């Protein structure tokens, strides 16, 4: 009897939803989301630890529970006899105030500056800086996404920066803050490759040099065979397209921005412009040694990760970007 009553109510709700306008359904959707209870940080991390379930010291899988420190479960390894918890030797190790992590992850979701995040979470500016780079270090340099369908690619350059360093290692005279770099030479610049497909999968590796060999080493493995590759006139992509059996659309003439009404590099150029304006504008420039962290943050922002997904990525969980 209860089952029939439930089915009847469910049918009524379904009929009511179908009779609503898209705007009304969005209001209902937001109301339901507001009722959802969020998973506590430790409960979010524990399943990620359980996937590997190994000692962080010797990587043995022979573990046993070893009491609790407060509410945190500790473990003891039967191999090396060391004790640990689910945060040992992770980016979260020895970080305090875990009850604020989710609020800070929300600040990262909004791409707030350090001072804004510190004010929002009620923490010290140095703590905000430490947490930012701890939350990003696990995904820094991870460019594992596979690109397929229509793929756009281009390279861009940022000035080498030692922002925040008390000693400058470069022998040359420091460039005045805010002044332009010499674009006629690649000296003093860092090369970055950015590629994105129409499903929003993105990679953005830092290149040690802007050469054909380096581009192929950081890009070819991410391309799915028989895709369509859209690039500028660089010869580096010709060999890659041939190797991966891709239909190559080269947009060499600046007057022709779109080929066959579908193939262009405007999406990737827009992403590059967005990244540059973000790091050079809102972030007031970033030190080159932290550049891979900001590129990882840009990928997370592009994928529209929420605060709990940002925490899972910060712990080291595998993230699948794109649609």
According to DSSP, the β-strands at 228-231 and 150-159 are: parallel
Averaged confidence pLDDT in the chain: 88
Average pLDDT on 170-192 reads 68
Q: At CA 73, angle to CA 71 and CA 74, rounded to 5? A: 130
Predicted TM-score (pTM) above 0.85:
no
For residues 151 and 262, the answer to whether their CB atoms sit within 8 Å is: no
User: Quick one: pLDDT at residue 321?
Assistant: 54
pLDDT digit string (tens) for 65-96?
A: 999 988 889 999 999 999 999 999 999 999 99
> How far is the C-alpha of 214 from the C-alpha of 165, rounded, in Å?
28
Q: For a pLDDT cut of 70, what percent of the chain falls above it?
A: 89
pLDDT digit string (tens) for 289-320?
A: 999 999 999 999 999 999 999 999 999 865 55
User: Quick one: pLDDT at residue 118?
Assistant: 96
Give the orientation angle of helix 114-121 with respect to helix 101-109, to 10 degrees: 140
Q: Would you list the domain boundaries of the chain?
A: 2-35, 51-89, 150-303
Q: Buried (b) or exposed (e) across 218-249, using 16+ Cβ within 10 A?
A: bbeebbeeebbbbbeebebbeebbeebebebb
Question: What CA–CA distances, in Å, run from 161 to 210, 253, 289?
Answer: 18, 33, 8
Average pLDDT on 40-64 reads 88
Place of tokens 């479960």: 73
> How far is the C-alpha of 193 from the C-alpha of 214, rounded, in Å?
10
User: Quick one: pLDDT at residue 1?
Assistant: 44
- Split at pLDDT 50, 70, 90, the class of 13 is confident
- Split at pLDDT 50, 70, 90, the class of 281 is very high
Q: Within the chain, what is the greatest distance between any pair of CA atoms?
A: 83
Q: Is residue 267 over pLDDT 90?
A: yes
> How far is the C-alpha of 153 from the C-alpha of 116, rounded, in Å?
33
Q: Which option is the CATH number for 150-303: 3.30.420, 1.10.260, 2.60.40, 3.30.300?
A: 3.30.420
User: Quick one: pLDDT at residue 77?
Assistant: 95
DSSP 3-state of 193: strand
Instruction: Look up residue 151 and give its DSSP letter.
Output: E
Neighbours of 157 (CB within 10 A): 16
Based on its alpha-carbon atoms, the radius of gyration of the chain, rounded to whole angstroms, reads: 24
> How far is the C-alpha of 182 from the C-alpha of 239, rounded, in Å?
30
Question: In the structure encoding, which two tokens stand for residue 197, read together?
Answer: 């497909």
């Amino acid at each position: 009897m209860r089952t029939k009553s439930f089915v009847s109510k469910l049918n009524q709700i379904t009929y009511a939803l179908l009779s609503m306008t898209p705007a009304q359904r969005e209001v209902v959707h937001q109301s339901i989301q507001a009722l959802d209870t969020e998973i506590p940080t430790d409960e979010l991390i524990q399943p990620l630890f359980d996937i590997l379930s190994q000692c962080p010291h010797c990587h043995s899988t022979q573990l046993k529970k070893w009491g609790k420190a407060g509410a945190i479960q500790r473990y003891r390894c039967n191999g090396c006899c060391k004790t640990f918890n689910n945060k040992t030797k992770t980016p979260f190790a020895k970080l305090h105030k875990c009850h604020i992590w989710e609020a800070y992850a929300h600040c990262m979701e909004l791409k707030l500056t350090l001072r804004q995040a510190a004010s929002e979470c009620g923490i010290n500016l140095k703590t905000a800086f430490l947490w930012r780079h701890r939350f990003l270090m696990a995904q820094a340099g991870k460019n594992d996404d596979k690109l397929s369908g229509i793929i756009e690619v281009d390279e861009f350059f940022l000035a080498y920066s030692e922002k925040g360093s008390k000693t400058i290692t470069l022998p040359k005279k420091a460039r005045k803050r805010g002044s332009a770099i010499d674009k006629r030479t690649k000296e003093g610049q860092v090369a970055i490759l950015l590629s994105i497909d129409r499903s929003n999968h993105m990679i953005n590796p830092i290149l040690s040099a802007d050469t054909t060999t380096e581009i192929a080493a950081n890009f070819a493995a991410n391309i799915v065979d028989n895709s369509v590759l859209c690039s500028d006139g660089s010869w580096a992509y010709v060999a890659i397209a041939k190797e991966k059996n891709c239909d190559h659309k080269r947009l060499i003439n600046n007057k022709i921005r779109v080929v066959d009404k579908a193939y262009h590099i405007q999406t990737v150029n827009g992403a590059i412009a967005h990244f540059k304006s973000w790091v050079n504008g809102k972030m007031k420039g970033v030190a080159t040694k932290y550049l891979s962290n900001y590129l990882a943050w840009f990928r997370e922002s592009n994928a529209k990760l929420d605060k709990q997904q940002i925490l899972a990525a910060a712990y080291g969980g595998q993230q699948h970007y794109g649609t």
